[in-house]
Structure 1
Amino acid sequence: MNRLISCFTGLSTLSRNEKGRILLYLVTFVPLIYKLFSPFFILAGTPGATIVIIPTMITIGIIMCSEDLRDAVTMKSIIFYLLVAFVFAVSPVFHSDTTEFVEKNYWKFVSSVLPYVFVGFLINYERDWIILRFVSRMGILVQIFWQACLLMGLVETELGTADSLGEQMESGYQLLFPILVLLISISREKTLIDILASVIGIFLLFFMGARGPIVVFLVFVVGYLVIFKTYNSYSFVKKLGIITGFVVIYSFLQEILLLFIPIAEALGFSTRVFDSILNNRMINLEEASNRDEFYGNVFRAIYNDPTGFGYGWGADRLFTPTHGYVHNLELELLCQFGYIGGTMLLFFILYIAFRRYQYLKKENNETVWFAFFCLGFVALQFSYTYVQYPLFFVFIGYIMNTRANKYYNLINI
């Protein structure tokens, strides 16, 4: 039994700090982790108690890895948190139209989204890669468990129909971290469990019926294989072969998809993504929940901004047809902080991201940087809003972390 557990986890012995980091990483990257524990509460007749699972995991995790957090949470990270919290809090003072948005979203943002910047500061891939691999395996396992519950009718979904579970965008995005980390881990240490888990994860990703997560996945795969992956020999020939392989797959894409559509239908998953690709609607804005109208309205608001410093926190909602977020990070920031303030903010983010990339490239960890870039930045090009997306702040914390990698230096003495 112990050997089986060790094989799945990849862990033998764990320190107190490592156990704490596992709990924090599970909460961050596998938000559905509470679903594994909720059946016990339901069987005990206290289904409402499931709400305490995540806060309890966070509390225990913080206590157990307090030593690591003391090293990771620098004055810079605290100042960043307080500055962002302050700027957003005073938004109604300068922009009264944002008062309602701030009142509804501020507390949840500063307590449940912004604090994830500290997780970004905590992450050290050279130290944590086995832990993150375990978290990724758990992420795939939790998704298998959750999808099985949905397919068996144990849990109802509002988006489903009689024949399909419908689009599951949130599950699609939650699959990205496990898949990307497992692909990186496989390049480092090939194990059957990681190969199997990543294959299952990729199949589930395409069966979720959401296009955004698939685009992020494809950006990572192409960037990883063609740009970031280091080949020991014949680098040009191998990259040319990979590009040729992509061309061949694209040439037979219709035939490949027609093979998978019956499988998805038989299992009860959505075929929306396959239908979009077959009908050339994969990146059609008119088919993307009226995003073309969202983008057009917000762009005009940015262009007509009289001050150049925007309309305030959450102000992009004032210009969209449904009063929802604009589904694009750049437009969101430019609308909220103006074409002057927003441009400066975007330049700052990209600048520190590039500096972090240069630092990690020396350690041959630029692929990890690219994974977090895809998860935290690329994903916000067409889905979600940074106001409700913790992984954006994980990415910000990760790229702002300029501490010397003591662990890396130690193993290279």
Structure 2
Amino acid sequence: MLMKKLKNLDIDYLALTVCLLIAFNPIKNVLILSVRKVIQLPLHIDVIILYSLACFTIFKALLAIKQMKKDILILLVLLLCILLATLIITGKQNNAFLLDIYIQTLFSFVVGYTFCRNIDNYHLLKIYLECTAIVLIITQIFSIFILKENILMDKTYSQEQAYILLPAVIISLNSLFDKITLVHLVNFFVGIWLIFMMGTRGPLACMLFFTLVRVLLKTMQAKRKYVIIGSVMIVTYGVYTYFTKLMEIALIISENLHLSTRSIIQILNGSFFMDSTRNVLKVFSIKLIQERPLFGWGMGNDRLKLASMFHYDDAIGWYPHNFFLEILVQFGVIIGFCFIVYIAYVIFVNVFSKQIGYDEKNVFLIFLAIGFFPLLFSGSYMTWTLFWAFLGFGVSGILYEKEHRDATIY
């Protein structure tokens, strides 16, 4: 069905670039590993070819942008000013570390926000995303079971691998809410199973939040609300009744395949939502807010402060692991609260406004789940490209809604 749709469509390089934000790295890694299982090419030609194709796609996408939106340039200048101010205030001692983080942040913003902000064919993008979801799952299955890649690298879990799988699960689940098809049904359940096998909790929580939002919207739009509510109750009761048995079966399968059993064991013993390290990070983050409540510590400087509180010299990875705390630590209570309120406004309008089209709303919900929800549990918005993509789609929705609301008024 998807292939039939694609055959009748011209290539949209903007939509293709958005899909690359989600799938380029995992697909690239599998292709390179596959080639190197057969032959070792000189000068890393395989890597050069793949990056050249990605650069070509990005270049074509830039050419497809008819007119650069003003808000992109305004936000870019504002971001540069904030980063420069933090760099000056922090001092020369940590300049190298901060510059590295800032370069990643600027790249994530330019790539994520710019291309998503300029998308105009949301229906085509949805088709591209559905294809991407299927390709992602196929490549990961190929990597784990055919190439026998050590995904966990002798660890008890792989957070990175689980978040690679999350977009595929969310996109297929979103498609299933529209129409139940065998392809996306299989893709969804295989994706969920693989995430369980990776041993992380965040992606599962993101999927749960997405499901709740979609069920809420479906219930609000449906004429026979009691049918949806009843169906949800029946499914919930069935899962609840056989949940322990299902988890035990999953545990046996995981052990036999030498995959992570961390999430399953945590669910069975009731410690799924417990994380002592994250709790300490939150306590220290609140202390930093209390020390500088008005203007905060600046972008990236929170990592240096948290690392020193844990007595670590390397500040990589030492951020609050919670979007709201990270914003408040960096910008203080006043500016941070304003930013959080704006994000809440963006989400509310894009989710509940009747002015926004169905495809536009669907795409926003997907990126809400893969670009924003993960930041409630892990990661940093600064270098999370999908967050800037989420914001790009969100701002487009806000401006579209405002334009059509004003047109209705006048």
TM-score normalized with structure 2 length: 0.84
2:19 paired residue number: 26
Selected match of 1:116 from 73, 97, 112: 112
1:76 paired residue number: 71
Selected match of 1:311 from 294, 297, 311: 297
- Give the partner amino acid of 2:324: E
- Give the partner amino acid of 1:131: Y
Deviates more, 1:173-182 or 1:23-32: 23-32
1:408 paired residue number: none
Are positions 1:363 and 2:357 aligned together? Answer: yes
Within 5 Å, give how 1:1-400 maps onto structure 2. 10-16=5-11, 18=12, 20-21=13-14, 23-30=16-23, 31-38=25-32, 39-40=34-35, 43-46=39-42, 48-52=44-48, 55-66=51-62, 68-71=64-67, 73-96=68-91, 99-112=95-108, 114-123=110-119, 124-149=121-146, 152=148, 155-157=149-151, 159-160=153-154, 166-228=156-218, 232-286=222-276, 290-305=277-292, 308-317=294-303, 318-320=305-307, 321=310, 322=312, 323=315, 324-359=318-353, 362-365=356-359, 366-400=361-395
RMSD: 2.8
- Give the partner amino acid of 2:87: P
Indicate the SS of the match to 1:401: helix
- Give the partner amino acid of 1:126: H
1:410 paired residue number: none
2:407 paired residue number: none
Cα deviation, 1:373-395, whole Å, max 9, x if unaligned, reads 22222110111111221111110
What is the Cα deviation at residue 173 of structure 1? 1.0
- Give the partner amino acid of 1:125: Y
Indicate the SS of the match to 2:358: coil
- Give the partner amino acid of 1:116: G
What is the Cα deviation at residue 8 of structure 1? 5.3
TM-score normalized with structure 1 length: 0.84
Cα deviation, 1:311-359, whole Å, max 9, x if unaligned, reads 1111222135254111111111111111112111212222233233344
Tell me: CA distance 1:353–1:78, structure 2 relative to 1, closer, same or farther (3 Å). farther
Cα deviation, 1:216-265, whole Å, max 9, x if unaligned, reads 11111233224445664421242143034324423432122011111111
Q: Contact 1:26/1:33 (CA < 8 Å) preserved in 2?
A: no
Count of residue pairs the alignment pairs up: 387
Tell me: CA distance 1:10–1:147, structure 2 relative to 1, closer, same or farther (3 Å). farther
Indicate the SS of the match to 1:385: coil
Counterparts of 2:16 and 2:43, CA distance in 1? 22
Q: Contact 2:2/2:131 (CA < 8 Å) preserved in 1?
A: no
What is the Cα deviation at residue 185 of structure 1? 1.9
Unmatched 5+ stretches in structure 1: 1-5, 406-413
Tell me: CA distance 1:122–1:309, structure 2 relative to 1, closer, same or farther (3 Å). same
Counterparts of 2:270 and 2:43, CA distance in 1? 44
Cα deviation, 1:79-120, whole Å, max 9, x if unaligned, reads 222321332133122333763531232223222454211232
What is the Cα deviation at residue 198 of structure 1? 1.8
